Amino acid sequence: MAGLEEGPTGGCEAAAIDGLKNLWHFESGLWKVWETDREHALMAAMTMAVAELPDDVDALKAMIVAMAKQRALLEARTSHLEVANKTADERIATLTAIVRMLERSRYGTRSERLRGATLSDEQHAFVFDEIKTGMAAIEAELDSAVEDKPKRARRPRKGFAAHLERVEIVIEPEIPASCEGLEKVLIGEDVSERLDVMPAKFGVIVTRRPKYAYRNRDGVIQAPAPPHIIESGIPTEALLAQIAVSKYADGLPLYQQEAIYARDQVELDRSLMAQWMGKIGFELQPRVEIDSNIVERAIRPQTITRKNALFAGSAGGGRTWATLATLLQTAKMNDVDPHAWLTQTLERIAQGWPISNIDQLMPWNFKA
């Protein structure tokens, strides 16, 4: 990608290519992990020492049945991963083709630029937001195929601007039954900060989780960290809802939101916001049956150009666009505040809302 220049898109072309390459390596590594786990599990079951096997026939039968179930489960997981990998391969190929087409339209020879569609700087920025969103959606889908995956290590980041209001929340742990009546000693705490947003006003929610030890007792107690859609990230569900409603309901592209937030000294890179949108689009996708008429009505008021609409329908964010635009338009049609509904829905999903009660999350069942 040598020769690309920094422009209004902020070097997104090179970032998109790097992201696709990283996603390819991530996907390949995920496949190897599944293959390795399957082989290890089967070998462990098959190499059990004869001396450890029970003499009872019924017990042996039970072991065989358990091993068969385990193997069937592993094969089912492998099959699921194969499908996820195949789908990811196809979507990555489409994203790559879009990036190359954009390169030709912007940096190709004069004849190549004349043959293809000429996109403005604004349209370039729009398209690369969608590509980044699509990449994040693919990664979220591949992540979901792995159970008990280790949590991502928290990445070092700059602190939030000092002028932002801090709202502190202290989550105390439950007192163990064996420690009731004993004096507890504060020995430390974990502190996390997430960027929150109130209408037309940013703030920072500071969550403190004290650590306690009891005199004459071993061990340390601490309340668990509250669950969030973006693990080890900075946004609250309210901020995610704000960005999503602005983009998919109000027609405000991420690069414009980036500039608006910067005026309040809040640095939110549009590539990061695109990753967040890909994640919540994936989380919401099982909760909607796409209605093309609703999607068309949702997109039409946003006055995006025909070229932008074309890319919104591509693999580079098309699924996310359809999912969020449909749900937010449905909220409007039911006279429900889209931001309030989406904030509540994302909070419930983060807390493990059961799929069997999915209907209660629909906009027409919203209760503030």
Contact 297, 332 (CB under 8 A): no
Q: Spell out the per-residue pLDDT of the chain, length 368, in tens.
A: 333 333 444 444 555 555 554 554 444 454 444 445 555 554 555 555 556 777 777 877 788 888 888 888 777 777 777 777 777 778 788 877 877 777 777 666 665 554 555 667 777 777 778 888 888 888 888 787 776 666 666 677 788 989 899 999 999 999 999 999 999 999 999 999 999 987 668 899 999 999 999 999 999 999 999 999 998 899 999 999 999 999 999 999 999 999 999 998 999 999 999 999 999 999 998 887 665 555 555 545 444 433 444 445 455 577 888 889 999 999 999 999 999 999 999 999 999 999 889 889 999 999 87
CA of 58: how far to CAs of 16, 67, 290, in Å? 58, 14, 51
pTM over 0.75: no
Q: Where are the beta strands (DSSP E) in 80-200?
A: 165-170, 184-198
In this structure, the strands spanning 201-214 and 184-198 are: antiparallel
CA distance 170 to 41: 42
